[in-house]
Amino acid sequence: MLAKYDVKNPSSVKELAASAAILGPFSQEIMMACYEAALFTYAEINASNESFKKIYDSQLAFKKEVHLWMQLPDYTFDTFMMRQQRANNL
């Protein structure tokens, strides 16, 4: 599913831009509201679904451990590649 999303998204963004849509990132306020709503939803599901809780707790522990590491290679590489695209090097 993710690969399908990644393949279709670039042409969809070009189509939106060609139709004069204003494209931009979500504001910090919108992202925080979505994040808080997600956390609330996860807490609700955790309270009633032991299987979900087990998986979610494991995932959360992993994210806490891996987050710092992922910032180093992924963020740096993504930023580098964005610069290459803007310089028409891709």
Instruction: Classify residue 7: in a domain, yes or no.
Output: no
| DSSP code at position 22 | -
Mean pLDDT, residues 59-87 taken together: 90
In a domain, 17, yes or no: yes
What's the number of domains the chain is made of?
A: 1
- Beta carbons of 54 and 42 less than 8 angstroms apart: no
**Residue 69 structural domain:** 12-86
Residue 69 domain-assigned? yes
State pLDDT tens for residues 5-56.
889 999 999 999 999 899 999 999 999 999 999 999 999 999 999 999 999 9
